[in-house]
Amino acid sequence: MRFGLPVMLGELLAGVIIGPACFGIISVTQPLELLAELGIFFAMFYAGMEMDPKELVEHTEGFHGIAEFPFVWQTYEPYAPPLQV
């Protein structure tokens, strides 16, 4: 039966269920961590290939202030005078 959801969502759910977070069928080892990091890399690459740059720019116009605030805060906060309470 198909639910109309992406295949990657099912793969992530299966990994959570059989991994150490839920039933612990698979334990964490060094080679498994390497495969997991490669899997994340390829998942992000696949997501990037599916994106349309024009659509991405259209959806990010309202987020510039939200994205710039932490950068400005971390840059200038060490130089701010301490608060007098």
In this prediction, residues 32-36 reach a mean pLDDT of 91
Q: What is the DSSP string of 12-77?
A: HHHHHHHSTTTT-SS---HHHHHHHHHHHHHHHHHHHHH--HHHHHHHHGGGHHHHHHHHHHHHHG
CA distance 23 to 16: 9
What are the tokens at 43?
Answer: 């998942």
Q: What tens digit of pLDDT does each residue of 8-22 get?
A: 888 889 988 998 888
pTM (global) more than 0.85:
no
Q: What tens digit of pLDDT does each residue of 37-46 get?
A: 998 899 889 8
